[in-house]
Every structure is written in structure tokens, then in C-alpha cells.
């Protein structure tokens, strides 16, 4: 399969001191969805700006579908901040965007209708978009981004700031899009659940560098250990005891242990505590998530970024 994107040794600095991309290399195969997962400031938007010719790299090589020159007609981009005109209706926004790409007459009308339907915006098509909810606005952004049927679509933090329900709704819309249009999609996110849900492949980005890339499964298997969480009486004493046998962390109300086969270890752990007359109130096991993998590779937590 052809590479949709090849970035080799790309560098980008802002001013003298800010290194946004630091010798970054990344290959993205045609037809897949790749997520760039990393915290704020790690360089995600800079990658998109460079790939869409809104910014220029200081150094390095970039090829899109094998070419060094970008054909803007084949790409679509939904940026982090909305491109929707709040004073236009949903339909007017789409019509205008279509005209920008040279669509006219019946072809334009048909495409706009098709997109309004696909994103469930028909009944709100003639309302001013400033009255739309956050989720509706993002869907309109998405529809505008693909009006010209791009081969390659960039989505910069598509669901940041949305509530969980609107996020799920948008995920469904993105998935449907992938199935129907067969595009290559590059999306950035700092939500591990989003990367997990939508991507064929995930690249971790940290301080302007790609740290590791793989499928969600491949990445999770690198952690190799489950987390056993336990709440009990005498937490400090329990910590001291468990630490002798297990890699143990104190996390707020509970203790967490990294163990190879969590479910097989549960009874052993509660047995140890019972022997020391410590009452166990709850014990559970969880498989590694992408946040655990990110922590393993970068020493940074992704989770902390999620509540802003």
C-alpha cells in the first residue's frame, strides 16, 4: 500500500527557544485512520499545520501521496477552532464552503443535502449556526471539511470541549465517514479513549517527537501488566505489607499494584491482607489502557490533561 504521508526528520522551531517538532519522522499508510495522541503542547497542531501548508518546517522532508507539492483539493482539514460562520445557517455555511471548492448548481445542492442527512442536521439546516449546540457545530465543521470529498482528512482535536454524549455521537459520525468515503484520516487528540475508539494505528507524540506507534492492542501489550486496585482498612500498613511482594502505588483512596495476571492474583492479595487482620473493602483488576502505555514510554500521565 502507498504511503499517504511521509515525514522525515522534520524540525520546526518558533522563535529561538520553542522547539515544536524535534526531528520528527512519521509514515502514514493510505486508507487508515491514524491518531496522534499526546498532551497539550506536544506538537500535534504543528504537524497538521505543516502538512496542510499553513506553516513551513525549518528542516526535513515531506511527501503527500508521493509528491513534494501539496494539492489542496485532495485534502480536507477541520481545525481545532471552529470554521463555522455563526451568522450563517448550517445550510448556508455548507453552500459557501462548496462554492469555495468550485461546486455549483445541482451538484452542490445534492452534496449539501447528502451531508446534512449524513450528519443528522437536516431539521436544523435553516437555523443560524450560532444557535447550534457544541456537538452540532462540530458536525457542521466536519461536513464542511469533507464537502469536496478529500482523499486525506485532518481532524485536530475533533471532540475537545464536548460532553461525553456529544463525543460519542461524533465518534459514530467519524466512523461512518471512514466506512463510506474510504479516506485516510489523521486525527489528533489528548483523549486516550478517542484514539482507542477510532484508530487503526496510534502514534504517541511527546515534546515534538514520535515516541512509539502501533495498534491499540500492540501498544497495550507493551505494558504487559494489569492493575489491581484495592481499598481496605489500615491503608498504610497494607501498603507496607504489599510492597514487599508487589510493585505498589498509593493513589488517593486506594492502593494499586502492577501484576502480570491480575485475575489470578486477586485471591492471593486479599489472602495476605486477611492474614494480617486487614479488612478488604473492595478489590478489582483492570487491563492496561493507553494512558498506562503513555506513562511507560514518556513518564507522563495523559489523564491529567483530560479535565480541562
Note the residues at the interface with Mg ion (CB under 5 A).
Answer: 44-45
Instruction: List, in sequence order, the alpha helices (H) in the chain.
Output: 44-51, 90-100, 105-118, 134-145, 164-181, 192-198, 216-223, 235-245, 262-275, 290-298
Cβ closer to Mg ion: 113 or 193?
193
CA separation for the pair 29, 242 (Å, rounded): 46
Three-state secondary structure call for residue 59 = strand
Instruction: List, in sequence order, the alpha helices (H) in 182-234.
Output: 192-198, 216-223
CA separation for the pair 46, 57 (Å, rounded): 9
Residue 43 binds which of ligand ADP, Mg ion, none (CB < 5-8 A, kind-dependent):
ligand ADP
Three-state secondary structure call for residue 65 = coil
Q: Binder to ligand ADP among 24, 26, 37, 45 (CB under 6 A)?
A: 45
Cβ closer to ligand ADP: 19 or 266?
19
**Contacts of ligand ADP in 5-34 (CB under 6 A):** 14, 18, 20
Region of 41-49, 173-181, 265-273, 293-301 interacting with ligand ADP (CB under 6 A): 41-49
Cα–Cα distances (Å) from 101 to 79, 127, 155, 184, in that order, read 17, 23, 19, 20
Nearest distance in Å: CB 213, ligand ADP: 16
83 touching ligand ADP, by CB under 6 A: no
* Closest residue to Mg ion: CB criterion: 45
CA separation for the pair 177, 46 (Å, rounded): 25
46 touching ligand ADP, by CB under 6 A: yes
Q: Binder to ligand ADP among 11, 29, 30, 41 (CB under 6 A)?
A: 41
Nearest distance in Å: CB 33, ligand ADP: 18
Nearest distance in Å: CB 205, Mg ion: 10
Q: Cell numbers at residue 130, please?
A: 450560532
Nearest distance in Å: CB 39, ligand ADP: 7
Residue 67 CB-density burial (10 A; 0-12 exposed, 13-18 middle, 19+ buried):
exposed
How many CA atoms does the CB half-sphere of 51 hold within 13 Å?
Answer: 35
Q: Binder to ligand ADP among 5, 37, 43, 89 (CB under 6 A)?
A: 43
Residue 160 binds which of Mg ion, ligand ADP, none (CB < 5-8 A, kind-dependent):
none
Region of 42-50, 100-108, 125-133, 234-242 interacting with ligand ADP (CB under 6 A): 42-50
3-state helix, strand, coil in the chain (%, to 5): 40, 30, 30
Cβ closer to ligand ADP: 80 or 270?
80
Q: Binder to ligand ADP among 2, 9, 25, 40 (CB under 6 A)?
A: 40
Sheet with strand 59-64: strands edge to edge: 18-29, 3-14, 59-64
Region of 40-48, 56-64, 115-123, 147-155 interacting with ligand ADP (CB under 6 A): 40-48
Residues that bind ligand ADP (CB under 6 A): 14, 18, 20, 38, 40-46
Amino acid at each position: 500500500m502507498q504511503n499517504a504521508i511521509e515525514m522525515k526528520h522534520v524540525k520546526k522551531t518558533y522563535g529561538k527557544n520553542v522547539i515544536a517538532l524535534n526531528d520528527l519522522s512519521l509514515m502514514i499508510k493510505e486508507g487508515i485512520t491514524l491518531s496522534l495522541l499526546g498532551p497539550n503542547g506536544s506538537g500535534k497542531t504543528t504537524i497538521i499545520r505543516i502538512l496542510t501548508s499553513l506553516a513551513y518546517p525549518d528542516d526535513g522532508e515531506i511527501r503527500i501521496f508521493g509528491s513534494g507539492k501539496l494539492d489542496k483539493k485532495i485534502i480536507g482539514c477541520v481545525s481545532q477552532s471552529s470554521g463555522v460562520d455563526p451568522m450563517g445557517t448550517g445550510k448556508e455555511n455548507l453552500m459557501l464552503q462548496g462554492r469555495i471548492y468550485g461546486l455549483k448548481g445541482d451538484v452542490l445542492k445534492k452534496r449539501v443535502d447528502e451531508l446534512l442527512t449524513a450528519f443528522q442536521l437536516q431539521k436544523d439546516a435553516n437555523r443560524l449556526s450560532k444557535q447550534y449546540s457544541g456537538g452540532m457545530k462540530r458536525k457542521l465543521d466536519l461536513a464542511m471539511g469533507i464537502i469536496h470529498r478529500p482523499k486525506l482528512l485532518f481532524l485536530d482535536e475533533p471532540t475537545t470541549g464536548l460532553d461525553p454524549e456529544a463525543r460519542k455521537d461524533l465518534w459514530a459520525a467519524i466512523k461512518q465517514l471512514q466506512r463510506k468515503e474510504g479516506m485516510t484520516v489523521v486525527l489528533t487528540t489528548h483523549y486516550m479513549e478517542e484514539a482507542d475508539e477510532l484508530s487503526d494505528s496510534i502514534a504517541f507524540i511527546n515534546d515534538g517527537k514520535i515516541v512509539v506507534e502501533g495498534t491499540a492492542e500492540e501498544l497495550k501489550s507493551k505494558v504487559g501488566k494489569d492493575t489491581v486496585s484495592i481499598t481496605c482498612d489500615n491503608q498504610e500498613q497494607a501498603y507496607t505489607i504489599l510492597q514487599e511482594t508487589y510493585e505498589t502505588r498509593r493513589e488517593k483512596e486506594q492502593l494499586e499494584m502492577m501484576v502480570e495476571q491480575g485475575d489470578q492474583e486477586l485471591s492471593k492479595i486479599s489472602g495476605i491482607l486477611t492474614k494480617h487482620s486487614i479488612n478488604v473493602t473492595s478489590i478489582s483488576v483492570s487491563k492496561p489502557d493507553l494512558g498506562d502505555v503513555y506513562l511507560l514510554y514518556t513518564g507522563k500521565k495523559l489523564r491529567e490533561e483530560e479535565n480541562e
